[in-house]
Structure 1
Amino acid sequence: MATIKDVAKQAGVSTSTVSHVLNKTRFVSEDISTRVMAAVEALNYAPSALARSLKVNHTRTFGMLVTTSTNPFYGEVVKGVERRCYQHGYNLILCNTEGDIERMHANLDTLLQKRVDGLLLMCSEVEEKSFDLFGRHQPVPTVVMDWGPTDFPSDKIQDNSHHGGYLATRHLIEQGHTQIGCLTGPLDKLTAQQRLSGFTQAMEEAGLIINPDWIIAGSFECEGGEAAFNELYLRGPLPTALFVCNDMMAMGVINTAHKKGIRVPDDLSIVGYDDIKLAKYITPSLTTIHQPKHRLGQQAVDTLLDKIQNKRTTNQVIQLEPTLMVRDSVKTLTP
């Protein structure tokens, strides 16, 4: 593989001149520039990105740790991250933690060895204590996306999950429902807690009774929705409506209800959360709370760039607001 010294020798110039021609850092005459570029082409020379990164002390590369899931929500966010990185001329190294702390630690060490300029963390299934791993590696600029301990020293991009839970429940109430249940995600996760608190606020404001038998925690997966609905079914009479705290769970509920002869929305109305792309293509199409997933990814990259380029030392929390997407999974009970 040709080196910059080989190019300089063939062009009859110094290595610094070759560098100035390639990087356009100083005026070089047209004749010399032509000779240098001819030597580059003849030798098939490609500048070393690693050598350049060591010299300028940045790699134009971000690392992203994500806990993979069958939930397409994560893939849609990653797409927003990757697109924004490309627009700004950055590379993205994506590492899957699979919710394992040892694997997370190994991935983090790998990213730091590759001298990434910043980190994006989207590890919503990892226990809060594992975030201590990242604290030891500061001051690498870091953005926590979607979820994270409030005391972790980083920028954060968060969904206003409380408001989303409130919007979902308020919509069911406005459609005439008074017997409403909530299938939450794992209640050790901040997002699940906040969505449940939004549900509670809407019910209390409307003066409606919250039946504890209709509040069941599950995982944020289709299987979690299936298991939670089966438990709800065994507890006795069903509510007329459910706020299900993410779309994957909601799809599990719709499928399980259908197997039991329960029709959505005629017998049971459902509102989901996330507005994944599949939500409008299932039957019935799912009324849900829209999270701006691409904007979440883009905002995370922009926030990281702002911290790096402006050498910002303070941390900020940016909250993205959810909106209601009305489709076909809710029946109107009022005239």
Structure 2
Amino acid sequence: MATIKDVAKHAGVSTSTVSHVLNKTRFVSEEISQRVLAAVETLNYAPSALARSLKVNHTRTFGMLVTTSTNPFFGEVVKGVERRCYEQGYNLILCNTEGDLERMHSNLDTLLQKRVDGLLLMCSEVEGQAFDLFSRHQPVPTVVMDWGPMDFPSDKIQDNSHHGGYLATRHLIAKGHKKIGCLTGPLDKLSAQQRLSGFIQAMEESGLTINKNWIISGKFECEGGEKAFEELYSKGPLPSALFVCNDMMAMGVINTASKKGISVPDDISIVGYDDIKLAQYITPSLTTIHQPKHRLGQQAVDTLLDKIKTKRVSNQVIQLEPTLVERDSVKAVS
């Protein structure tokens, strides 16, 4: 593999001149520039990214820790991150934590040893835990994304989950429903807590009774929705409507209800949360709360770039607002 010294020798110039031509850091005559570029092409020279990163003290690489999940929500957010990194000339190293704290720390060690310029955290398994991310390394600029450890001191990009839960419940109330239940996610997750609090606010504002038998928690997966609905079904008469706190759970609910001969929305109406791409293609298509997933990813990268550029020490919280998407899973009642 050709080196910069080989290029300099072939072009009859110094290595510093080659560097100035390639990096455009100083004026070099047209004739010499052409000789250098011709030597680069002839020798098929490619500058060493590692050597350059050591010299300029940055790698133009971000690391991202994300919880592995079957939920397409994560994939849609990562797509937004990758697109924005590409647009800004950055590489992304993606590490799955598998929901495992030990693996998360191992991945973090690897990323910091590779001298990433910044970190994006989207691993909810560390939420609520007091831990020191940088116990063995120098801190690097970090942005915590929705589903990340919100107690960690860093910039944060998050969904207004309380308002989303409120919007979902208000929609069911506006459609005439009074007997409304809520299938939450795991209540050790901040997003699940906030969506439930939005549900409670909407019910209390409307003077509607909250039946505790109709509030059931489950995992944010299809299986979680299935098990939560089975538990709800075992407790007696069903509500006329459910706010299900994510779309994957809602799909599990619709499938399980169908197996029991319960029709959505004729027998029970459902509002989901996230607006994953699949939500519009199931039957019935799912009324849900839209999270701007691509914008969440893009905003996280932009915030990280700003923190690096300005060397800002202070931390900020950016909250993205959800919106309601009406489809076919909610029936109006008199």
The TM-score, its normalising length taken from structure 1, stands at: 0.97
Letter in 1 for 2:221: E
Compared CA separation, residues 266 and 137, structure 1 to 2 (3 A): farther
Matched residue, 1:329: 329
Give yes or no for contact 1:135–1:152 (8 Å, CA) kept in 2.
no
Pairwise CA distance, 1:66: 0.4
Pairwise CA distance, 1:67: 0.7
Give yes or no for contact 2:127–2:149 (8 Å, CA) kept in 1.
no
Is 2:318 the partner of 1:312?
A: no
Matched residue, 2:294: 294
1:264-294, Cα deviation, whole Å (9 max, x unpaired): 0000000000000000110000000000000
Q: Give the Cα–Cα distance (whole angstroms) in 1 for the partners of residues 7 and 257 of structure 2.
A: 70
Is 2:116 the partner of 1:139?
A: no
Q: Give the Cα–Cα distance (whole angstroms) in 1 for the partners of residues 300 and 118 of structure 2.
A: 11
Task: Look up the SS of the partner of 1:35 in the other structure.
Answer: helix
Compared CA separation, residues 145 and 252, structure 1 to 2 (3 A): same
Give yes or no for contact 1:128–1:148 (8 Å, CA) kept in 2.
no
Letter in 2 for 1:121: L
Letter in 2 for 1:305: L
Give yes or no for contact 1:101–1:130 (8 Å, CA) kept in 2.
no
Pairwise CA distance, 1:128: 2.9
1:150-181, Cα deviation, whole Å (9 max, x unpaired): 43110000100000000000000010100000
Give yes or no for contact 2:101–2:125 (8 Å, CA) kept in 1.
no
Pairwise CA distance, 1:134: 4.5
Task: Look up the SS of the partner of 2:126 in the other structure.
Answer: coil
Matched residue, 1:77: 77
Q: Give the Cα–Cα distance (whole angstroms) in 2 for the partners of residues 99 and 271 of structure 1.
A: 27
Q: Give the Cα–Cα distance (whole angstroms) in 1 for the partners of residues 127 and 192 of structure 2.
A: 14
CA RMSD across the alignment: 1.2
Q: Give the Cα–Cα distance (whole angstroms) in 2 for the partners of residues 45 and 23 of structure 1.
A: 14
Q: Give the Cα–Cα distance (whole angstroms) in 2 for the partners of residues 32 and 110 of structure 1.
A: 42
Letter in 2 for 1:37: L
Give yes or no for contact 2:120–2:142 (8 Å, CA) kept in 1.
yes
Letter in 1 for 2:257: A
Matched residue, 1:303: 303
1:231-268, Cα deviation, whole Å (9 max, x unpaired): 00001000000000000000000000000000000000
Pairwise CA distance, 1:135: 6.5
Matched residue, 1:226: 226
1:212-234, Cα deviation, whole Å (9 max, x unpaired): 10000000000000000000000
Task: Look up the SS of the partner of 1:39 in the other structure.
Answer: helix
1:208-227 correspondence to structure 2 within 5 Å: 208-227=208-227
Q: Give the Cα–Cα distance (whole angstroms) in 1 for the partners of residues 90 and 53 of structure 2.
A: 13
Is 2:165 the partner of 1:161?
A: no
Pairwise CA distance, 1:68: 1.2
Q: Give the Cα–Cα distance (whole angstroms) in 2 for the partners of residues 321 and 134 of structure 1.
A: 31
Task: Look up the SS of the partner of 1:210 in the other structure.
Answer: coil
Pairwise CA distance, 1:148: 3.7
Pairwise CA distance, 1:39: 1.1
Matched residue, 1:252: 252
Task: Look up the SS of the partner of 1:272 in the other structure.
Answer: strand
Give yes or no for contact 1:85–1:92 (8 Å, CA) kept in 2.
yes
Matched residue, 1:10: 10
Q: Give the Cα–Cα distance (whole angstroms) in 2 for the partners of residues 141 and 172 of structure 1.
A: 42
Q: Give the Cα–Cα distance (whole angstroms) in 2 for the partners of residues 208 and 286 of structure 1.
A: 24
Matched residue, 1:28: 28
Matched residue, 2:275: 275
Letter in 2 for 1:290: H
Give yes or no for contact 2:127–2:148 (8 Å, CA) kept in 1.
no
Count residues in correspondence.
Answer: 334
Moved >6 Å (runs of 4+)? none
Pairwise CA distance, 1:81: 0.4
Compared CA separation, residues 134 and 66, structure 1 to 2 (3 A): farther
Give yes or no for contact 2:127–2:150 (8 Å, CA) kept in 1.
no
Q: Quote the sequence identity (%).
A: 87
Q: Give the Cα–Cα distance (whole angstroms) in 2 for the partners of residues 299 and 237 of structure 1.
A: 44
Pairwise CA distance, 1:41: 1.1
Task: Look up the SS of the partner of 2:5 in the other structure.
Answer: helix
Give yes or no for contact 2:117–2:141 (8 Å, CA) kept in 1.
yes
Compared CA separation, residues 121 and 135, structure 1 to 2 (3 A): farther
Matched residue, 2:90: 90
Pairwise CA distance, 1:197: 0.3
Q: Give the Cα–Cα distance (whole angstroms) in 2 for the partners of residues 205 and 216 of structure 1.
A: 21
Pairwise CA distance, 1:47: 0.1
Matched residue, 2:195: 195
